[in-house]
Structure 1
Amino acid sequence: MTQETPSRPPIGSLIASKRRRRDEGVGQTPRPRPPVPATGLQLTLSRAGEQAFEGHAFDPEKPDHRLIVELLLDGEPAALQRAESFAPALAGIGDGCHGFRFAVETDRLQHLGHVGVRIANLAESPVRSLDLANEAPLAARHPVGAVSWPGGLRLTGWVRRPADGGAPPLVEAYLDGERIAHASADAWREIAEGGAASIEPAFTLTLPRFLADGAARRIDVRQGERALSGSPVPILAFADGLEAELTARSALRDEAARAALFDLACPDAVPFGAFEAWDARFFPVPAGPRLAKPLAVAAIGEATAGRKTLDAPASSGQVGAVLAPDGGPTRFDAGDLVRFLEGPGASCPVIVLALAGTVLRPGAAARLAAALEADPSAEIAYGDLLLAGPDGPATPLLLPAFDEERFREQGSAAFAFAMKRGPAIKAARRGIADLVRLFLAPLEGGGGLSAHLHLPGAAFVLPEFDLPALNEAFAEAITAHLAARGIAADIHTRPETSLPAIRIRRRSAARPTITILLDAATSPEPDIAEAVEALEASRSKGRVELVVLARGADEVLREKLKLDGIALLDVEPREGYAARLGRAAEPLESDLLCFLDARLRPEGADWLEEMASRLEDPRTGAVGPVVTSPLGAIVEAGLVLRPAGRAVPAFRDRMAGDPGTGDALHVARQVSALGKACLLLRRTDFLAVGGFDPLLFPHSGGEIDLSLKLRALGRRLVVAPDAALVLASDVRETESRAETRLRERAERLLFARWPDAFASDAFYSPLLDRGPVPYSGLAWPPGRALARRSTLAPARPIPPGW
Structure 2
Amino acid sequence: MTQQTPSRPPIGSLIASKRRRRDDAASQTPRLRRPVPVEGLQLTIGRVGDREFAGRAFDPEAPDRRLIVELLLDGEPAGLQRAELFDAVPSGEGDGCNGFRFTVDPEVLIHIRHLGVRIANRPESPVRELELASDAPDIARQRPGCVEWQGGLRLGGWVRRDPTGRPPLVEAYLDGERIAHAKADAWRDVSEGGARSIEAAFTLTLPRFLADGAARRIEVRHGERALSGSPVAFLAFADGLEAELASRSQLRDETARGQLFDLACPDAVPFSAFETWDVRFFPAPAGPRLARPLAVAAVGPDAAGRQTLASPGLTGHVGLVLAPDGGPTRFDAGDLVRFLEGPGLSCPILVLAAAGTTFRPGAAARLAAALEADPAAEIAYGDLLLEGPDGSVSPLLLPAFDEERFREQGSAGLAFALKRGTAIKAARRGIAELFRLFLSPLESGGGLSAHLHVPGIACRLPVLDLPGLNEALAEAALAHLAARDIAADVHTRPEASLPAIRVRRKAVARPAITILLDAADGQDSDITSALETLEACRTGGRADLVVIARDPDSVLGERLKLDGIALFETESRQGWAARLTHAAARVDSELVCFLDVGLRPDGADWLDEMASRFADPRTGAVGPIIASPLGAIVEAGLVLRPAGRAVPAFRDRMTGDPGMGDALHIARQVSALGPKCLLLRRADFLGLGGFDAALFPRFGGHIDLCLKLRALGRRLILAPDAQLVLSNDDPEIESPAEIRLRERAERLLFARWPHAFADDAFYSPLLDRGPVPYSGLAWPPGLSHPRRSSLASPLYVPPGW
Q: Distance in 1 between matches of 2:194 and 2:120?
A: 17
Contact 2:768 2:778 in 1 (8 A): yes
CA distance in 1, matches of 2:685, 2:36: 59
Q: Show the counterpart of 2:736.
A: 737
CA shift at 1:7, angstroms?
6.9
State how far apart, in whole Å, the 2-side matches of 1:655 and 1:258 are.
38
Residues 673-692 of structure 1 aligned to structure 2 (within 5 Å): 673-692=672-691
- Greater Cα offset, 39-48 or 492-501: 39-48
Q: Distance in 1 between matches of 2:32 and 2:577?
A: 54
Q: In 2, distance between residues paired with 1:425 and 1:56?
A: 75
Q: What letter corresponds to residue 252 of structure 2 in structure 1? A: R
1:747 alignment counterpart: 746
Deviation at 1:747, TM superposition (A): 0.5
Taking the TM superposition and a 5 Å limit, the aligned residue runs for 1:535-684 are 535-684=534-683
RMSD of aligned C-alpha atoms?
2.0
Q: CA deviation at 1:109?
A: 2.4
1:777 equivalent to 2:770? Answer no
Aligned ranges 1:137-148 → 2 under 5 Å: 137-148=137-148
Take 2:511 and 2:143, find their aligned partners in 1: how far apart are those partners? 52
Shift of 1:58: 3.6
- Tell me how far 1:27 sits from its aligned partner: 7.5
Q: Residue 285 of structure 2 corresponds to which residue in structure 1?
A: 286
Amino acid at match of 1:57: A
Shift of 1:96: 2.7
Which residue type is aligned with residue 18 of structure 2?
K
Counterparts of 2:278 and 2:33 in 1: how far apart (Å)? Answer: 45
Q: Give the counterpart letter for 1:607 in structure 2.
A: W
| CA distance in 1: counterparts of 2:733 and 2:646, whole angstroms | 19
Q: Is the 8 A contact 2:148 2:229 kept in 1?
A: yes
- Structure 1 residues 292, 529: CA separation in 2 closer, same or farther (over 3 Å shift)? same
* Partners of 1:81 and 1:734 within 8 A in 2: no
Alignment match, 2:693: 694
SS in 2 for 1:437: helix
Larger mean CA deviation between 35-44 and 679-688 belongs to 35-44
CA shift for structure 1 position 129? 4.0
* Residue in structure 1 matched with residue 449 of structure 2 by the alignment: 450
* Conserved 8 A contact 2:633-2:650: yes
Match in the other structure for 2:71: 71
Cα distance in 2 for partners of 1:93, 1:689 equals: 55
Partners of 1:90 and 1:96 within 8 A in 2: no
Distance 1:269 1:3 in 2: 15
Distance, in Å, in 2 between the alignment partners of 1:706 and 1:48 is 46
Q: Which residue of 2 aligns with 1:20?
A: 20
Shift in Å, 1:192: 0.9
Residues 3, 239 of structure 2: 8 Å contact kept: no
1:321-341 CA distances to partner (integer Å, 9 max, x unpaired)?
111111111111111111111
1:121: how far off? 5.4
Q: Within 1, Cα distance between the matches of 2:351 and 2:184?
A: 42
Q: Secondary structure at the match of 1:180?
A: strand
The aligned counterpart of 2:707 is: 708
Separation in structure 2 between the aligned mates of residue 512 and residue 19 of structure 1, nearest angstrom: 71
Kindly state the Cα deviation for residue 552 of structure 1 after the two structures are TM-superposed.
Answer: 2.1
1-side partners of 2:223 and 2:28: how far apart? Answer: 25
How has the CA–CA distance of structure 1 residues 467 and 4 changed in structure 2, closer, same or farther, with 3 Å as cutoff? closer
One-letter amino acid of the counterpart of residue 242, structure 2:
E
Kept in 1, the 8 Å contact 2:486–2:615? The answer is no
CA contact (8 A) 2:5 2:212 kept: no
* Residue matched to 2:319: 320
Which AA in structure 1 matches 2:152? G
Residue by residue over 1:73-125, the C-alpha shift from the partner in whole angstroms, topping out at 9 and shown as x without a partner, is: 44544333333322254796565333221111122223444434344556665
1:352-372 deviations in Å (ceiling 9; x for gaps): 100011001011111111111
- Structure 1 residue 799 corresponds to structure 2 residue 798: yes
One-letter code of the match for 2:462? P
Distance in 2 between the 1:368 and 1:90 partners?
64
Give 2:282's aligned amino acid.
Answer: F
- 1:714 maps to a residue whose letter is G
Give the partner amino acid of 1:754.
W
Residue aligning to 2:431: 432
Identical-pair percentage: 74
Contact preservation (8 Å) 2:641, 2:760: yes
Contact preservation (8 Å) 2:3, 2:238: no
Are residues 1:251 and 2:255 paired?
A: no
SS at match of 2:237: coil
For structure 1, which segment, 464-473 or 378-387, has the greater mean C-alpha deviation from structure 2 after superposition? 464-473
Task: Report how far residue 390 of structure 1 moved.
Answer: 2.2
| Equivalent position of 1:340 in the other structure | 339
Range that drifts further, 34-43 or 506-515:
34-43
Paired with 1:369 and 1:261, the residues of 2 have a C-alpha distance of: 34
Cα 1:773–1:13, aligned 2, differ >3 Å: closer, same or farther? same
Alignment CA distance shift 1:589-1:225 (3 Å): same
Deviation sequence 1:134-173 (CA, Å, 0-9, x none): 543323321111111111112111111122x332111111
The two structures have a TM-score, normalised by structure 1, of 0.96
Q: Does 1:413 align with 2:381?
A: no
What residue in structure 1 maps to residue 176 of structure 2? Answer: 177
Conserved in 2, the CA contact under 8 Å of 1:637 and 1:649? yes
1:46 counterpart residue number: 46
1: CA distance between counterparts of 2:530 and 2:314? 61
Structure 1 residue 36: Cα displacement: 6.9
Indicate if the aligned counterparts of 1:632 and 1:655 stay in contact, CA closer than 8 A: yes
Separation in structure 2 between the aligned mates of residue 294 and residue 564 of structure 1, nearest angstrom: 71
Question: Unaligned stretches of 5+ in structure 2?
Answer: none
CA apart distance, 1:583: 1.3
Equivalent residue runs for 1:148-547 within 5 Å: 148-163=148-163, 165-314=164-313, 317-547=316-546
Contact 1:34–1:93 under 8 Å retained in 2: no
Contact 2:5/2:209 (CA < 8 Å) preserved in 1? no
Q: SS of 2:303's equivalent?
A: helix
By how many angstroms is 1:765 displaced? 0.3
Q: Distance in 2 between matches of 1:41 and 1:261?
A: 44
CA contact (8 A) 2:642 2:758 kept: yes
| Shift, 1:720, TM fit | 0.4
Secondary structure of residue in 2 paired with 1:278 = helix
> Could you tell me how far apart the structure 2 residues matched to 1:61 and 1:406 are?
60
Q: Is the 8 A contact 1:299 1:310 kept in 2?
A: yes
Shift of 1:53: 1.8
Partner of 1:115: 115
CA distance change for structure 1 residues 552 and 129 in 2, over 3 Å: closer, same or farther? Answer: farther
Alpha-carbon distance change, 682 to 34 in structure 1, aligned in 2, over 3 angstroms: farther
> Which amino acid is 1:139 matched to?
I
Distance 2:766 2:20 in 1: 39
Alpha-carbon deviation of 1:59?
A: 4.5
CA gap 1:28/1:614 in 2 versus in 1, 3 angstroms? farther
Structure 1: gaps (5+ residues): none
Give the 3-state SS of the residue equivalent to 2:683 in structure 1.
Answer: helix
What displacement does 1:63 show? 4.7
- Which stretch of the first structure deviates more once superposed, 255-264 or 523-532? 255-264
Q: CA deviation at 1:10?
A: 3.1
- Higher alpha-carbon deviation: 123-132 or 232-241: 123-132
Instruction: Give the drift of 1:718.
Output: 0.4
User: Hey, what's the Cα distance between the residues in 2 that align with 1:716 and 1:118?
Assistant: 54
Secondary structure of 1:734's partner?
Answer: coil
Distance 1:494 1:94, change over 3 A: farther
* Structure 1 residues 129 and 522: CA distance shift in structure 2, 3 A: farther
Cα deviations across residues 445-487 of structure 1 (Å, max 9, x unaligned)?
1110000000111001011121101111111111111111111
Amino acid at match of 2:708: K
